[in-house]
Every structure is written in C-alpha cells, then in structure tokens.
Structure 1
C-alpha cells in the first residue's frame, strides 16, 4: 500500500491557548495500563512480545531517519502489532466517549480512530463518531497554522485539513480537528479545543489501540496543548499485570526528597525551535565499581541531529549503540560463570542456562552516569528470568547512532519531566503505592 510520507519532526511556529485554570493550577492524575496487562500471558510470552516490540520500535526510528517527502511503499508487518507500551484512559467529545490510547513520550500527535472508517483496526471500545459530538470542529486545509501537516497542495478554500502522520512502520491518516477531551480518574477535567487527528485509516501496527496520546516536546503533544509545565509517571513492576501506573500532569507531578536526582535535557541543535524526543547527557555506565570503557562521545548528540541518548516510554528494553552494548555485555560475561544459552527463540541476545543444580550469582547494580545524576539500577531492572531455565540481559544493541533508555529499566522509578526548566528528575519508588 502506498502512503504519502511527510517528514514529521516538523516545526509548528505557533502556540495553543491556555487550558482551564483549574487544570493549570491543580493538575490531574491518569492511569496507565500495560498493553499486555489483560492478556493472560506467561512470563516468557510477555518478555518475547516486549523484545519484539523493542526491535520494532528501533526499526521505526531507523526508518524515520530515511524519510523524505516522497511516496514510498511499505510492506512491513510486525509479529506483535503494537507500537506502544502503555495505554492511557481518556474521553473525547460531548457527550464524552471513553477510550484507551497509547501514551508515548516519543511522539506528539494526539489521535483516535473515527467513523466513517476506510481502514480501521480492532479496538476494545466504540469508535468515535464526530457526527454525534456537539463540540467537534474542523480545521480548514488552507489553515496557515497547520500548513506543515495538512496534506493538500493548492487547497480550495472550502476543504478541510487532511493529514498523513507516519511512525516509520506505523501510520495514521484522516482529518485534523478540534474537540473537547476529558482526562483524569478521581477528578476529571474537560478541556475544549484540543487539536487531534480524526483517523479514518490506521496501519495494523496499532491493532488493539484506539489511538495515541503524544507526550513529546512538540507543539501538538498533550503537554504542550494543555500548557502544563511538567508531568511525571511511575511504572509498576513489569510482571505486575494487576496494577496500573500513575501518570501525573501539572503540579501533582512534582515530588521531592533526599533521594531525588536531576539532570538537564539536551536540545537537538538540528530542530529549531523544538524537537520531539527527550535527550539526556549520558557520560558513562558502570557495573558495580567497574567503570566501563565507553567514550562519552558514544552517546553525544551531533550537530546534524544524529546520535544522542533519549528516554522513551514507548520502548521496553534499553538500546545502546554497539560500542556501549559490547562493553556492558562483556562486563556481565566477565562475572557470570553459568553456561551461555541461546536466547534468540525468546527474543534475547545474551542469556544463561540456569539448571536445577545452579543459580545465578547476585549481580551488582548497573549505574547510568547522567550529567549531575546517577541512576542506579538494581539487578531486576536489567537481568530477568525468561523462564525457569533462562536468565537474560534486558539490554539490546542499537544498529543506529541513537541510544534509547527503555521503560523496563525505568520500572519502580518516579520520573518527572519538567518541560519549563528542561530538567528530568527521578527517584526510586514503589510505584504501586503512589
């Protein structure tokens, strides 16, 4: 199927109106559910699906680096057709229609599937019908505000804005509209005039989801449109399929304490005035007291916008450029004496065989040395029992110059994105109790 691809790390030189005063002053809480939380999968199946999604995510970003504004043919299909990791509950329209969408810090656009469908995928809730809402409004395709996203060349004055938004291996297309959205759990907040994609065609990659909520740094993201200065989340343990994870926006997101560490975001110099991803300055990695031989340049963001190290809620397992991955892998191999096992059938690159007469040694902490802040990962955040026989490393090699800090490594850390101060803060936490 041919789709028109537009390079979507796009510059929007405008600002959105401030949302309701109560939202800005008080903030709200939403719940995040893991995409596999209701699937009754075994531990091995959960990990295999997560490994597949991680590699799918990397291929998506790799393809985005090759995009141009020309037509290409996409035949890619994933064994696990889900581009996100956590669902966020929200509602759209008047009267409000409840649905769940992927929450993603690595993208911007908010969208949901709409009728009449040209190509819609399965979703657990009814599909939004704009004709049944009293608060929806269309955006004309000659809008100067959305000129970079509306896909009509030389549009007549009476047409509406249509868009094609690509995620590399996944895509959505439809019309760009405005609507009232309702957020929150115990105290809901309704916000009018949120710009969103009313998707009438969606790739199979989003099967099972009703859409996506972008939490990136671009002007179309939820955080930008709500004009909120900060948000935070705390992801519960990966295998805790019964608990939801809190997503806090506005002042509710803030936390403090002696264990809180903070580091500055790094701006991508090739994208002015903003960029989607949240880049961090990673100086090195240690395994216990062993400072690994990785040059800081391995994680540096280049002047042309390549390279760098991002934190991403939509990638499960951390991806390191090959130099850094080899150093981590070699350090683990130097202290683990168990027999090496083939983990490829379950999606992992480095695994050990744990027999009935053997057990893994207690592993030292894996420490990520960010600028001014060390994130100390316990063993459970980087080594995992896939089944009773396999014990595997949950870090993969990246075959591009970009490294990604995944959500498996973020579990049981409360993580705050202060978008005004350009600071990421984090602290260990029991996320199930927040």
Structure 2
C-alpha cells in the first residue's frame, strides 16, 4: 500500500465525526410572462430532515431508506419505458416517476400569492400542489391551495400543448386531467392548469411569472410527501419549471447535510470568477427528461479502477447509464463497478471491515478506541468526459462515534447508476440544458 494513496486523518474526530446539528405580494415584485427572459432568481433549499435533531449518520440512514426506494422507482421507469413501444396507442398506462426528494423549496402560487413548500426534484418534470376541493389529500404544513381564491387560475384545455406533453391524461368537459404515479402506490391526480408563480423570499427581490402550467392535485396519496405541499420538477421535459421559464440554466449548491445553513438554488445564469470543470450531458432517447453523465472511470487514491467505461453506457434497451440526481442521497454504482471500488477501498484502508450491518451502508470499517489516527484513501475522483471531479473526504466517508465505525457512503445498483447529493455537497453544480453541459465547482455553500 503506497503512502501517496493514503490520507492521514489527524485528528479523526475533527474530520469525520459529526455531531448533532445545531408571503405576500410586493409593489417591487417583477411580473413577467413565461415567454420573457428572467433575471437570475435565488431560492433557499432546506434538507427534508433539517428540522430534526439527528446526527449526520442518522440523516444518512433516513436518506438511504428514501434513496433505495427512489432507485427502485427509477428502475421501474426504465422498465416501463422499454416496454412502452409494445403497448397499443389506445392503452392508458400510468407511468412511474421518482417522487420524494431530499430538498424543499418555498414558492408562492396565485393572485394574491399563497406560499407553499415543495419537494425539489431533478428526476421528474411536473410541478404540482394539493388543491381544494380535495377528495383525498394528505396532511401538509401549509393551507391547501384554493383555486377559487386566485384571480389568475385557469384550467387548461385538452388541446393545450402542456396537456399533450403529459404521459398520462384524460379529458373532462374539455378540461385536461392528469395522473402521476410514483411506483409505491403514491400518486397525484387532478386538473392541469396555469397560475402565476412568485419566486424569492425577500419582497424587493421577488419575481412573479405568469402562466406556469402545474398540476392542481385533488387526489394525492403516498408515503413521504407530507413534509411538502407538492413537487417542483426540474427535469428536461416540457412540463418542468426550467422548460416553462424558457431558462436553460440553473444551478444549486448543497450544504453538508448536517449543516443548519440553507442550500441554494439559482434559476438563470450564475456568474463565477472561478473556472469549473465541465462535461457534457448525455440524453437517453427513451427517457429524455433525465440528466445523464458521461462517467468514464473512478480513481481511489492514486489508483484508477480497472473497469471498462462501457459499464456506464446507456444501453439500447434504455437501461444503464449514470444520472445525476438531487433527490438521491448516496451514489449508487452498477454492481461490477461498485465491487471494484469496494475492493480497492479495503486494500487501501488499515482498518478491519465491520460486518455488523448496523449502519445500513454496505462497507464500514471498525475504528480503534485508543487512537484518533487512521489511514483511509486520501481522495476519490470521478472521471467524467473532459472533467475530473475530486471529492473531499467528507463527501464519501462518514463516521459514527456511538458505533465506532467509518463507512463508505456509496452502494451498488443493477443497471442504472446514480450520482447522489452527498457526493455533490459543497459543490456548485451548474446545468446548461441548451448547451447540454454540466459543470462542477468546489464551493463553500454555506457562505454563498
């Protein structure tokens, strides 16, 4: 084991052990249509577990549970997409979407604007919120939106472009009805409509955008949605917020999940004086809304794993590939690649493997009780096409003092790989949908 491929952790507790974490309208609000260009909009993001008094490992365990369900849903999407060609055109099948993300964003809807909290999701497109009259609605933290109290609410007709963009819709008296299913019997259904959305928490900086298409959900059920009133999709499809704003650029900077400071979402161009590393976004023709990354390899310390980059290719049947996702906590790699990564981590770490399975993570090491110095791989590098992203230790190793273990915050998948949000923390991630690029810039996100 070469010394250059190891990171000497001194002290261990300082770098790995993480304890418990500590609307209305405005005269100055800009009002534009969604065909106009918008000024850059800054929004705060809050982790779904930020209000709970949890350690980083406990938050990670919550996130892993959500992420495993999310991974299963993504795989269901792939299966549904690959089999859709064999279905006759008159069959109505509700597709499967990701749902349940990790970050919440506050927005306002209607005239006058009513605030609500929504899950931010780069893995889906539809924007929706619960609406009155609710035949079935789950408990949410804010009052349910009542379209009768808004002067700008307008139901969309069945012939509208946005209705045609829905993967599953029906028509009732020329009103477009939608259904989104999330794969675990969670779903939302209701009327597709347009409204004025107001962005920004400070009144002087608020921007109101007319005619945003959204789902007014009158029947909404499912586990894990009750921390928010709905969902905001940031995917690449025509129903997403980015597409409707005609704004091809957005970015986010995620603070550490145990940090009490808010993360940040930018809609529009975000200038930076520093040069990021930039790679291309790939497109899966069968699943065009997802953001696929051109991952070509991985290095642990100074050792590049001996895996063929074709492992990460998008296959002809729409399976495989690597997506970047804000709603999945840890990174999941196709099994062959993950096993190579795991083997190399074990060989470069001078600690015994913990086999208790107490953390929910696949690879953990037992920490000595009489020493604060251990050796682990000093860096982890994801080699994307034309861009190497080196992760800091806290973006892939998590330790827990109560169980005396340090764990690799990654896991194995079958087919689809996901680059998760833990690996993205304290990195400014810039998307340019028009140029089909994505860039990464290491940033202290809590100081932005």
Give the TM-score of the pair, scaled to structure 1: 0.87
Deviation at 1:141, TM superposition (A): 3.2
- 1:73, CA displacement in angstroms? 13
- How many Å separate the matches in 1 of 2:221 and 2:298? 38
Equivalence for 2:9:
none
* CA deviation string 1:114-137 (max 9, x = no partner): 111122122111111111111100
2:268 equivalent among 224, 231, 250: 250
The 1-side partners of 2:386 and 2:65 are apart by: 33
2:242 aligned with 1:223, yes or no?
A: yes
Distance 1:148 1:264 in 2: 26
2-structure distance, mates of 1:150, 1:391 = 44
The alignment status of 1:284 with 2:273, answered yes or no, reads no
**Contact kept? 2:34, 2:212, Cα under 8 Å:** no
Task: Report the CA distance shift for 1:98/1:239 in structure 2 as closer, same or farther (over 3 A).
Answer: same
2:189 is the counterpart of 1:173: yes
Aligned residues between the structures: 401
Equivalent of 2:427 in 409, 413, 417: 413
Q: 1:283 to 1:190 in 2, by over 3 A?
A: same
Secondary structure of the 2:358 match is helix
Using the alignment, how far apart are the partners of 2:237 and 2:95 within structure 1? 27
SS in 1 for 2:190: strand
Deviates more, 1:299-308 or 1:388-397: 299-308
Cα contact 1:28–1:250 (8 A) shared by 2: yes
CA distance in 2, matches of 1:411, 1:52: 19
* Alpha-carbon offset, residue 142 of structure 1: 4.8
- Distance in 2 between the 1:37 and 1:342 partners? 30
**1:99–1:125 CA contact under 8 A, matched in 2:** yes
Change in Cα spacing, 1:72 to 1:192, as seen in structure 2 (3 Å) is closer
Counterpart Cα distance in 1 of 2:165 and 2:99: 27
Secondary structure of the equivalent of 2:238?
A: coil
| Residue aligning to 2:214 | 196
Distance 1:120 1:290, change over 3 A: same
Q: What is the CA deviation profile of residues 238-275 of structure 1, one whole-angstrom value per residue up to 9, with x for unaligned ones?
A: 210x2101111112x232424x110011122335xxx1
Contact 1:316 1:408 in 2 (8 A): yes
Work out whether residues 349 and 376 of structure 2, in 8 Å CA contact, stay in contact via their aligned partners in 1: no
Q: 1:165 to 1:185 in 2, by over 3 A?
A: same
Please report how far the alpha carbon of residue 143 of structure 1 lies from its aligned counterpart in structure 2 after TM superposition. 4.1
The answer to which of 63-72 and 137-146 deviates more is 63-72
Is the counterpart of residue 160 in structure 1 residue 179 in structure 2?
Answer: no
1: distance between equivalents of 2:95 and 2:385?
A: 42
**1:6 aligned partner:** none
Question: Could you tell me which residue of structure 2 aligns to residue 19 of structure 1?
Answer: 34
1:10-409 correspondence runs (5 A): 19=34, 21=36, 24-67=37-80, 83-143=100-160, 146-147=163-164, 149=166, 155=171, 158-169=173-184, 170-186=186-202, 187-205=205-223, 206-240=225-259, 242-251=260-269, 253-258=270-275, 260-270=276-286, 275-342=288-355, 344-359=357-372, 360-388=374-402, 389-399=404-414, 401-409=415-423
Taking structure 1 as reference, are residues 216 and 151 closer, same or farther at Cα in structure 2, changes over 3 Å only?
Answer: closer
Cα distance in 2 for partners of 1:60, 1:297 equals: 24
Contact 1:107–1:214 under 8 Å retained in 2: yes
Residues 1:72 and 1:173: Cα distance change in structure 2 (over 3 Å): closer
Structure 2: unaligned runs, 5 residues or longer: 1-31, 85-90
TM-score by length of 2: 0.84
In 2, Cα distance between equivalents of 1:49 and 1:150? 31
1:325 positional shift:
0.4
User: RMSD in angstroms over aligned alpha carbons?
Assistant: 2.3
Cα distance in 2, alignment partners of residues 146 and 364 from structure 1: 51
Deviation, 1:358, is 4.1
CA contact (8 A) 1:113 1:198 kept: yes
Residue of structure 1 in register with 2:5 after alignment = none
Q: Deviations over 1:51-83 (max 9, x none)?
A: 111111111112222336666999xxxxxx981
SS class of match (1:297): helix
Unpaired stretches in structure 1, ≥5 consecutive residues: 1-16, 75-80
Q: Conserved in 1, the CA contact under 8 Å of 2:163 and 2:169?
A: no
Displacement of 1:99: 0.9
**SS in structure 2 at match of 1:344:** coil
